[in-house]
Amino acid sequence: MIWTIKKGFYRIMHKFENIFVKRMTKKEPKLLIGPGIIKELHTAIKSEGVSKSLVVTDKGLTKIKIHDEMFQTFKKNEIEYVVFDDVLPNPTINMVETAKKVYLENNCDCIIGFGGGSPIDCAKIALALVMKPGKKVRDLGRFFRIKGDVPPFFAVPTTAGTGAEANFAGVITDPDTHEKFAVASTKLLPKYAVLDPELTLALPPHITSTTGMDTLTHAVESYINIIGDESSDEKATRAVKTVFNNLVSLYENGNQIEAREEMAQAAYQAGSAMVRAMLGYCHAIAHKLGGIYNIPHGLANAIILPYVLDYYGENAHKKLSELAIAAGIGGDTESISTLAERFIQAIRDMNKKMDIPSSIKEIKSEDIDIIAQAALKEGNPTYPVPKIMNLEDMREVITKLKSN
């Protein structure tokens, strides 16, 4: 009885959430798309009337000199820049606060997140702290308001997966509690997103695969959630189709520039769909595994997704059958349940082809309750999923992840 009341309350919350999300997600970043387009970023910066950028990135990208073409155009066009490249996977509160300090000490007037999801998220939350200089990250809460104009924020993804360039939330890790949580404000939406496929050519196969599966997870979760609309559904469907058409081939041969561009656009589309329709339990679990065991986010999503879809069962079958048809996995003469199950199996098959494991060995039995409770705290009532989990459901899914 109590659980029935709780589920009813969650669904009421989802209806209000639907109204709120649609009102708050009308804007999108301006897009710069195409091979070599990074060399045109200076034009966008100049158009915003700013001239000194903080570039938030990581040392791995600095080492391979991936920023060089951008920096050369900056110098030619008299745009000053300062580099903060101490971002690690799963950025921490300390990294964000240090980035804010570098921004203020160097009198920067705009910020560039250059890299995968970690640098872009770090840049977002650093920007939030610039606008709220007396606040700590924990003070900002899950969603907060920023008044007034915000310095221009430019997102330059070097992976095709996180969708961080399309949304206004940044994910941060508290190293003391091993908790991952999001900080969000509509003012943190990038002014521009630069989708340059040449920046992804150097990705090793395992990063291509796991970030691509992150794209798929965003698209699938947003599509099957109960608050999607025509716009989010259309973007998610395109992204799913693109992933199934390109990802395994790119994993095997990463030098296909056209496929790289299609995946960059798919990552953006899935990220944009996610903003409107939100995420699901796959992400809730992945965030906890990333915080506790430092498992890369895309890898965690790739492994978890089929298990969560299995749990949703018939509640998600109709939507999954539609994605199966869009991805070319089956035809509309087959039953809904057959198509849905075929779609889930196709995800498992794709993982196997790209050497992604079917379980997460790092999970410890004594941690299952902790992970389950934390994932439910994130998921309920926030995520408008097709079927609501209770604690026992969540424990069962995580146990399967560990043992299979």
Query: What confidence score (pLDDT) does residue 142 get?
Result: 67
> Average pLDDT of the chain?
93
Residue 155 has pLDDT above 80, yes or no: yes
Q: Give the confidence band of 3 by pLDDT, cuts at 50, 70, 90.
A: confident
Q: Is 141 left (phi over 0), alpha (psi -120 to 50) or beta?
A: left
pLDDT digits (tens, 9 = 90+) for 238-289: 999 999 999 999 999 999 999 999 999 999 999 999 999 999 999 999 999 9
Which residues face 392 on adjacent strands? Answer: none
Name residue 169's beta-bridge partners: 184
Close Cβ partners of 238 (under 8 Å, ≥ 6 residues apart): 266, 269
Residue 173 pLDDT greater than 90, yes or no:
no
Percent of the chain with pLDDT over 70: 98
Q: What is the pLDDT of residues 339-353, one digit of tens each?
A: 999 999 999 999 999
Q: Cβ-count burial of 332 within 10 angstroms (0-12 exposed, 13-18 middle, 19+ buried)? A: exposed
- The fold of 2-22+203-403 is Dehydroquinate synthase-like, alpha domain (1.20.1090)
Summarised one tens digit per residue, pLDDT across range 192-229 is 999 999 999 989 999 999 999 999 999 999 999 999 89
Residue 21: per-residue pLDDT: 77
Residue 147 has pLDDT above 80, yes or no: no
Q: Break the chain into its structural domains and give their ranges.
A: 2-22+203-403, 34-200
Domain 34-200 -> CATH class: alpha beta
- Spatial distance between the Cα atoms of 105 and 192, rounded to a whole number of angstroms: 24
Which of 268, 263, 295, 286 shows the shortest CA–CA distance to 89?
295
For residue 43, pLDDT over 80 is answered with yes
Higher pLDDT, 173 or 217: 217
Report the pLDDT value the prediction gives residue 25, as an integer from 0 to 100: 65
* DSSP 8-state code for residue 211: H
Furthest-apart CA pair in the chain: how many Å? 68
CB 391, CB 319: distance < 8 Å: no
For position 128, what pLDDT does the model report? 92
Give the count of beta carbons closer than 10 Å to the beta carbon of residue 387: 17
